[in-house]
């Protein structure tokens, strides 16, 4: 529920930005006497540290949990959005591969916004009291499997997902003008995905039924964007 800030703004304090919006939401919910809240959080929203920029989502959960007990809250914790892969299009065109400090053989839990919307709709019409979290996923794939599917869709069947060091990835983000503190947070977030920390709670509370949209479905959308 927190729209992304400008990661290239050198003055953006991302954690403060999250906290301020969380407080605004809580104020509005309380003063409007809303009794049912579905908060779009994120995978790793359970973690107070070690999750990089996602720590902001954790604080939003904590802020909302301070609302009166008669406000029922579900924190939706979706996995990595398929469309985040669009950020690698220029890299693929320039380098011929995806390069990051996670991926390769790492299993990446993916999700489609379509499946998130369906899960949120279920929560909104389900009677519930108290506080809970709900994981949402569409498909778990390794970085290599993801690259293969995308590569086949864009006519590059040999597309590889190469894992490099945190330091090399951080240097690349800063070199393109990203706020250094936010860049470090992104690196920590991806490192947590690489280590398994970020998805630990997801696997403990994995949905009994996964979403309908698979990577092969999304790859068609990715190919359209790639070829524009």
Which of helix, strand or coil describes residue 88? helix
Mean pLDDT in residue range 170-189: 96
Task: Tell me the CB-side half-sphere exposure of residue 32, using CA atoms within 13 A.
Answer: 10
Dist. CA 48–CA 161, nearest whole Å: 29
The label of the residue with tokens 């006497």 reads 33
The structural domains of the chain, with segments of one domain joined by +, span 14-226
The answer to which of 54-58, 72-76, 99-103, 123-127 has the lowest mean pLDDT is 123-127
Domain 14-226 has CATH 3.30.70.1560: no
pLDDT at 1 over 80: no
Dist. CA 32–CA 161, nearest whole Å: 48
Using alpha carbons only, give the angle 16, 62, 51 rounded to the nearest 5 degrees: 65
Q: What is the pLDDT of residue 190?
A: 97
Using alpha carbons only, give the angle 115, 49, 137 rounded to the nearest 5 degrees: 15
Residues 4, 81 contacting (CB under 8 angstroms): no
Q: What is the pLDDT of residue 4?
A: 77
Classify residue 42 by its DSSP letter. -
Those residues with Cβ within 8 angstroms of residue 192's Cβ, 6 or more apart along the chain or in another chain: 44, 47, 50, 51, 52, 198
pTM of the entire structure?
Answer: 0.92
Which of helix, strand or coil describes residue 151? helix
Closest CA to 163 of 101, 109, 106, 94: 101
Q: What is the pLDDT of residue 182?
A: 97
The label of the residue with tokens 């529920």 reads 1
Classify residue 86 by its DSSP letter. G
HEC-encoded secondary structure of 178-197 = CCHHHHHHHHHHHHHHHHCC
Closest CA to 138 of 88, 189, 74, 83: 83
Residues 60-103: pLDDT tens digits?
999 999 999 999 999 999 999 999 999 999 999 999 999 999 99
């Amino acid at each position: 529920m927190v729209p992304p800030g400008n990661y290239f703004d050198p003055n953006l304090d991302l954690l403060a930005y999250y906290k301020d919006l969380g407080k605004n939401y809580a104020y509005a919910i309380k003063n409007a006497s809303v009794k049912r809240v579905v908060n779009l959080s994120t995978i790793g929203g359970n973690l107070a540290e070690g999750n990089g920029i996602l720590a902001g989502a954790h604080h939003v959960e904590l802020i909302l949990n301070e609302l009166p007990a008669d406000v029922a809250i579900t924190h939706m914790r979706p996995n990595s959005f398929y469309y985040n892969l669009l950020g690698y299009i220029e890299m693929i065109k320039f380098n011929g591969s995806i390069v990051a400090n996670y991926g390769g053989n790492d299993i990446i839990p993916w999700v489609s916004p379509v499946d998130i919307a369906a899960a949120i709709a279920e929560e909104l019409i389900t009677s519930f009291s108290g506080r809970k979290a709900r994981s949402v996923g569409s498909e778990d794939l390794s970085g290599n499997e993801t690259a293969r599917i995308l590569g086949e869709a864009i006519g590059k069947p040999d597309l590889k997902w190469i894992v490099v060091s945190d330091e090399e990835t951080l240097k690349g983000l800063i070199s393109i003008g990203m706020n250094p503190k936010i860049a470090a947070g992104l690196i920590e977030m991806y490192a947590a995905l690489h280590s398994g920390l970020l998805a630990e709670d997801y696997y403990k509370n994995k949905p009994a039924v996964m979403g309908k949209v698979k990577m092969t479905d999304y790859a068609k959308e990715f190919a359209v964007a790639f070829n524009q």
